[in-house]
Amino acid sequence: MPQISHLFFKTAVIWLIIGLAIGLQMGISGNHNTIAAHAHLNLLGWVSSAIFGGYYALNPAKASKRLAMVHYAIYTIGLLVMLPALYFMELGNAQLEPLVGIGAMITFAGVLIFAVVLFSREIVSIQEVRRV
């Protein structure tokens, strides 16, 4: 499996562990305040990251492109900014809302880069294939 797929899956499972922990915390406490953080950790963090990892595993030519690593970095940085800010915002820290917005925009940029990778031609140089 290409390195980028490993990276996406390893990151995804960390999001899943945190997402499920927040789900359990909500279920046990009966306080569902952090519902958006839970849903976005699981869907943007676990599900989407795993789909990206699966895509690159099925398309090694695309995985070898430098842009794939840029996609991983931007998308993951976006989530690292957005998701903790969303969690603590839902716990009553309303001042974190701009940070949630900034993180969301970075995450969106990551998805746009994925779209560029997806629609780009598959031809890559030998050096790029060797890097996978």
Pairwise CA distance, residues 121 & 105, whole Å: 26
> Interface with ligand HEM includes 129 (CB under 6 A)?
no
118 binds ligand HEM (CB under 6 A): no
Cβ closest to ligand HEM, residue 50 vs residue 68: 50
Burial (Cβ within 10 Å: 0-12, 13-18, ≥19) of residue 80: middle
CB of 36 to ligand HEM, least distance (A): 8
Question: What is the C-alpha separation between 33 and 92, in angstroms, rounded?
Answer: 9
> Shortest approach of ligand HEM to residue 47 CB, angstroms?
5
Contact residue for ligand HEM among 31, 33, 43, 97 (CB under 6 A): 43
The residues, ordered by sequence, that sit 6+ positions from 95 with a Cβ below 8 Å of its Cβ are: none
Written as six digits, the tokens of 121 are 């031609």
> What is the C-alpha separation between 60 and 69, in angstroms, rounded?
13
Tell me: does residue 34 bind ligand HEM (CB under 6 A): no
Q: How far is the CB of 52 from ligand HEM (least distance, A)?
A: 15
Tell me which residue has its CB nearest to ligand HEM: 23
